[in-house]
Chain A
């Protein structure tokens, strides 16, 4: 294989590689709140705030790109604070509904914002994102979550997820931890939003619909939320799956069409049915199956 064909290969798959990273960041942003037992579905709203902040700064200022990205993470993070105070008092499905509401409010705000061209959004956003930047961001996010695990704060989060009142009576300030994780998730979503906008050349409200949040949540659940890198694995798997199916499908002579989404859905269903702890639990499960069930029954 010569250099020329390597470059062609990269050009063909660059976008897939970029979206594996972007979707990984988004899946992690959902994971931050799931890690302390909160189902917050406002991530598309935070992402929109990041995307628009980034695009507006790029169009209307001469700021260097790292500063633009920092602002795109900061704006949703700051907004998450006043949102978190009332909203984090809610539990379970009520929190989910309230945060969906927040996401819709943000989306409709941008639909009506003439400054950014309303529902059409802004096009011809300069492509300032390089693929390595996406992976640098993903790497930093994974690093932070990795170091969090096993720390004093990490144990506090696990305790809150397992039994919040019991955690409180151990002296854990549950509200502060939940708010911190909401803010962190908002920052990650905002950062991913700005990176995406500067990769796809455009920003429009329709990108930030409720369906987008569901997508992020599915990444996290399919990958597994018991461990911090699970959501990123899920994002990689589900972003690659349609590409692989297309490639395989064309090799075996299948016409593109209804079959591919069907297989996509089937794989999703199989993972949820047979791997409730996500793809990342697969090695452990295989190991147990090979070692025999008896020995594993009482394992820690």
Chain B
């Protein structure tokens, strides 16, 4: 198993936001994480990416515990993410945002740049070319020079995905990547996610668009009030009475 969560717990002032969650994501798998608002999905992504600490339980990547590591260490081990409430660097251009994402992959040391060594020049050119390739991959070639703040909502989400991909992560955490997108954009994001999985990336997808989740995910974990109420293949999840009850309301 690539990413493993065991009995992960986190409370916020007495509210059990994440309460004993366990599930696993294997290499090259698209794993859906769904649940009603406030179920703890974003909290879980914040725990995995190290922005907040778990109160208990274990999160491991490739058998290595990561739940006590700083976020930049977790990113270096191969987990990057996007944000539900878009966190691009607004003053930077789309291309520069993706360049920042290449931070972990680039090696060009500063002293070489100070000395104008030609090797740095070519590395920088390669880094920019990679950024433009990634923007092309999310269909934003013509927006490369635009400031992130001037892009549309859907475009900003796509730049975020390109930025998260720039470090060639093993696990990509996507927090509602299609929120605010039009149907055509959603279709292209679905294709992109399938493509990533074929390329060996694992994707943990938090999403409200149930159709998208059912279409692209191989496994789905359903959260409600911080607890896992179902875990399985999409067809089984769609029939699960606990899931139906959580989404439509009813006796629990």
Give A residues with C-beta under 8 Å from B.
143-144, 147-148, 150-153, 155-156, 158-159, 162-163, 165-174, 298, 300
Asked if B113 lies at the interface with its beta carbon under 8 angstroms from chain A, I say: yes
Cross-chain pair count, CB within 8 angstroms: 92
B89 to chain A, nearest CB (A): 4
Asked if B92 lies at the interface with its beta carbon under 8 angstroms from chain A, I say: yes
Cβ–Cβ < 8 Å partners of A170 in chain B: 72, 75, 80, 100-101, 103-104, 163-164, 167
- Complex Cα gap A166–B146 (Å): 20
Q: Among B81, B88, B96, B150, which residue has its beta carbon within 8 angstroms of that of A169?
A: B81
- Complex Cα gap A159–B166 (Å): 15
Leading 4 A-B pairs by shortest Cβ distance: A171-B75, A162-B89, A171-B104, A166-B87
Known contacts A155-B103, A159-B89, A170-B80; is-contact A165 B51 (Cβ 8 Å): yes
Cβ–Cβ < 8 Å partners of A155 in chain B: 96, 99-100, 103
Give B residues with C-beta under 8 Å from A.
49-51, 70-72, 74-76, 80-81, 83, 87-93, 96, 99-101, 103-104, 106, 108, 110, 113-114, 124, 127, 145-147, 150, 163-164, 167
- Complex Cα gap A174–B146 (Å): 26
Q: A153's closest neighbor in chain B, by CB?
A: B110
Cβ–Cβ < 8 Å partners of A172 in chain B: 72, 100, 103
Query: Assuming A143-B114, A159-B92, A172-B100, what are 11 further A-B pairs, CB within 8 angstroms?
Result: A144-B114, A150-B124, A152-B110, A158-B89, A162-B90, A165-B87, A166-B83, A166-B87, A170-B163, A171-B75, A171-B76
Q: B147's closest neighbor in chain A, by CB?
A: A300
Cβ–Cβ < 8 Å partners of A147 in chain B: 110, 113-114
Contact assessment for B167 and A148 in the assembled complex, using a CB-CB cutoff below 8 Å: no
Q: Among A152, A153, A171, A174, which residue has its beta carbon within 8 angstroms of that of B80?
A: A171
